[in-house]
Amino acid sequence: MPTLLEPWSRDYLLASTARVYPYRGDHAIMDPVMFEELYCALGEVVGFVDGLHYEFKTEQTIPAGAAAVPRSDHKGADGPFALLLCR
C-alpha cells in the first residue's frame, strides 16, 4: 500500500498510513519500500516522531509500512506514533 501524505502544517506532511514503533536499536529505521517512495517524493526522509527529529535509514527486517525509533528516546511510550515528514 502506498504511503499517503497529507498536509499537516506549513513545515510537515503526515504519513497517514505509516506506523512508527519504539525498538531497542540506536537509529531510526524504515521499511525500504516506504523509504524509497518517500525519498522520491521529498528528496530526503527526515521525520518528526513524538517530539523528536530523525533521519531514517532503511532496514530489511522491518515490516512493510512500518518504521521504528530508539526506545531510549521514548521511555514509557509504546506507540504506534504518527510520522510527520519535513517538507
The span from the CA of 59 to the CA of 78, in Å, is 20
Q: State how far Cα 70 lies from the chain centre.
A: 12
The span from the CA of 18 to the CA of 4, in Å, is 8
Whether residue 4 has pLDDT greater than 70: yes
Structure confidence by residue, pLDDT tens digits, 30-83:
999 999 999 999 988 999 999 999 999 999 999 999 999 999 998 878 889 999
Distances (CA, A) of 14 to 24, 27, 28: 25, 21, 17
- Topology of the domain comprising 5-86: Barwin-like endoglucanases (2.40.40)
H or E stretch covering 36: helix 32-42
Q: Which of 66, 53, 62 has its CA nearest to residue 17?
A: 66
Whether residue 3 has pLDDT greater than 90: no
Considering the entire predicted model, what is its pTM? Answer: 0.89
Structure confidence by residue, pLDDT tens digits, 59-72:
999 999 999 999 99
